């Protein structure tokens, strides 16, 4: 078997990646713009190109509950959701992470109600950063497929055993068609070993799962979760190195930088909008302007040291995000600002740009405006909507 090239959407790329990972159980509930992921997987199960149990559940809460139950008996599991569906899962997110069940989930980033809106921003996933899941943000369809394979290798690693959420910008990635390289199944099998875990129900080696822990012990379990999340930083690098050696596609760990070595003005962002920034930055660089980009690939674990290093030489930094913590600032900005404040560094001036809420377009002209604001000496508003 050899890899192939296909003109497919981001959702179809996710489905292809899931198929290559050979999950035992898929449980999901349809919600725009995620639905075609689980439709494609249903078709694969029906035609037996994917041998898995496909569970038709009545809600997103049930979908993740089913995945938790399956993972608790040692099964590799997958689910997908979006927006209100992710929020409906919120209770179960903590059960999965606290139980150390390495469920992999795709989330199609979409605005949350009210007003009702089916278009993409990142308020759904960013509002749940504290639920104990690894959170990754893809830029395009190819990265989406590859991240699914990465996710199983990372989440199932014995030093991690933490569920993982792959986020795709709704419609911008989920429904945009691109040429995607799909690995051969034989190569995917070389990369991703069958799932094995001792954290499961086992008649031969019984253990307690889903138990109660009072004040004397509860914090210890939370500390272990925290340490596992920190360990994920190392495992992510190891997994990507192995993936690069096998498939010749290399990724940059927790974040990606562009021209940050000498940039005076840098925009930090995540997701597909990085594709809008790149050509603007290339054009401005050709005009002699020292501008750069930081694309955060993982919000959890947060790339603390990488952010500090990337932004150390900048005069001003703008954090562009499709999120707002009402009454304060953007959540990504809070994380970036904290990383810089806690370091003994000369801090660049920081500005928080909020855009793309409810799918509002972020244009090349908007990017130029943001760089212009960064060059201005005035402090500006605490939060600037673009």
Same structural domain, 218 and 304: no
Listed residues 223, 247, 271: the one ending a domain: 247
- Better-predicted residue by pLDDT, 211 or 352: 352
Same structural domain, 130 and 259: no
CATH code assigned at 175: 3.40.50.970
| Proportion of the chain above pLDDT 90, given as a percent | 95
* Token pair listed for 216: 């004397």
Mean pLDDT across 29-52: 98
Q: What is the pLDDT of residue 342?
A: 83
Q: Residue 1's pLDDT band (boundaries 50, 70, 90)?
A: low
Same structural domain, 238 and 263: no
| 194-208: burial string, b at 16+ Cβ within 10 Å, e else | ebebebbeeeeeeee
Listed residues 196, 231, 247: the one ending a domain: 247
Q: What is the pLDDT of residue 380?
A: 72
Q: What is the pTM of this model?
A: 0.97
CATH code assigned at 344: 3.40.50.920
231-288 per-position pLDDT tens digit? 999 999 999 999 999 999 999 999 999 999 999 999 999 999 999 999 999 999 999 9
Contacts of residue 116, defined as CB under 8 A and 6 or more positions apart, other chains included, come to none
Same structural domain, 117 and 222: yes
Pick from 383, 1, 300: nearest CA to 129: 300
Beta bridge partners of 53: 25
| Summary mean pLDDT of the chain | 96
Q: What is the pLDDT of residue 379?
A: 72
Q: Residue 2's pLDDT band (boundaries 50, 70, 90)?
A: confident
Same structural domain, 263 and 242: no
Same structural domain, 243 and 260: no
Number of domains in the chain: 2
Same structural domain, 234 and 318: no
| 285-297: burial string, b at 16+ Cβ within 10 Å, e else | beeeebbbbbbbb
DSSP category for residue 201: -
Mean pLDDT across 308-312: 96
Q: What is the pLDDT of residue 102?
A: 98
**C-alpha span between 38 and 308 (Å, rounded):** 39
140-159 per-position pLDDT tens digit? 999 999 999 999 999 999 99
Domain of 376, in residue numbers: 255-385
Contacts of residue 15, defined as CB under 8 A and 6 or more positions apart, other chains included, come to 36, 37, 38, 40, 41, 44
Scan for tokens 């908007």, then name that residue.
366
31-41 per-position pLDDT tens digit? 999 999 999 99
Distance of CA 310 to CAs 256, 293, 340, Å?
A: 9, 9, 11
Q: What is the pLDDT of residue 108?
A: 98
Strand order in the sheet with 53-56: 53-56, 25-28, 77-81, 104-109, 164-169, 134-137, 298-300
């Amino acid at each position: 078997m050899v890899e192939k090239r296909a003109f497919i959407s981001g959702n179809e790329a996710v489905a292809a990646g899931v198929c290559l990972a050979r999950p035992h159980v898929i449980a999901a509930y349809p919600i725009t713009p995620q639905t075609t992921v689980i439709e494609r997987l249903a078709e694969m199960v029906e035609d037996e190109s994917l041998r898995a149990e496909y569970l038709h559940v009545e809600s997103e809460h049930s979908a993740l509950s089913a995945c938790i139950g399956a993972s608790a008996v040692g099964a590799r599991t997958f689910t997908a959701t979006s927006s209100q569906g992710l929020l409906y899962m919120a209770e179960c997110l903590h059960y999965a992470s606290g139980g150390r069940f390495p469920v992999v989930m795709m989330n199609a980033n979409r605005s949350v109600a009210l007003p009702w809106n089916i278009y993409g921003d990142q308020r759904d996933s960013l509002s749940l950063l504290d639920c104990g899941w690894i959170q990754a943000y893809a830029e395009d369809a190819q990265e989406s497929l590859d991240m699914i394979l990465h996710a199983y290798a990372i989440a199932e690693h014995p030093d991690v055993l933490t569920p993982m959420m792959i986020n795709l910008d709704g419609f911008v990635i989920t429904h945009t068609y691109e040429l995607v390289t799909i690995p051969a199944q034989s190569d995917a099998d070389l990369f991703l070993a069958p799932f094995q875990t001792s954290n499961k129900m086992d008649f031969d080696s019984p253990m307690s799962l889903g138990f109660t822990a009072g004040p004397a012990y509860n914090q210890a379990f939370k500390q272990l979760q925290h340490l596992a999340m920190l360990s994920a930083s190392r495992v992510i690098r190891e997994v990507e190195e192995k993936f690069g050696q096998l498939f010749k596609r290399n990724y940059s760990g927790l974040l990606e930088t562009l021209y940050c070595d000498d940039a005076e003005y840098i925009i930090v962002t995540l997701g597909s909008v990085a594709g809008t920034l790149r050509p603007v930055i290339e054009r401005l660089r050709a005009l002699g302007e020292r501008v750069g980009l930081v694309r955060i690939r993982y919000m959890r674990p947060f790339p603390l040291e990488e952010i500090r290093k990337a932004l150390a030489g900048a005069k001003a930094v703008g954090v562009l995000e499709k999120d707002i913590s009402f009454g304060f600032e953007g959540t990504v900005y809070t994380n970036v600002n904290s990383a810089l404040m806690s370091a003994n560094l000369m801090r660049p001036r920081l500005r928080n740009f909020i855009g793309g809420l409810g799918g509002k377009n972020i244009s090349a002209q908007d990017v130029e405006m943001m760089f212009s604001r960064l060059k201005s000496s005035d402090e500006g508003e605490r939060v600037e909507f673009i």
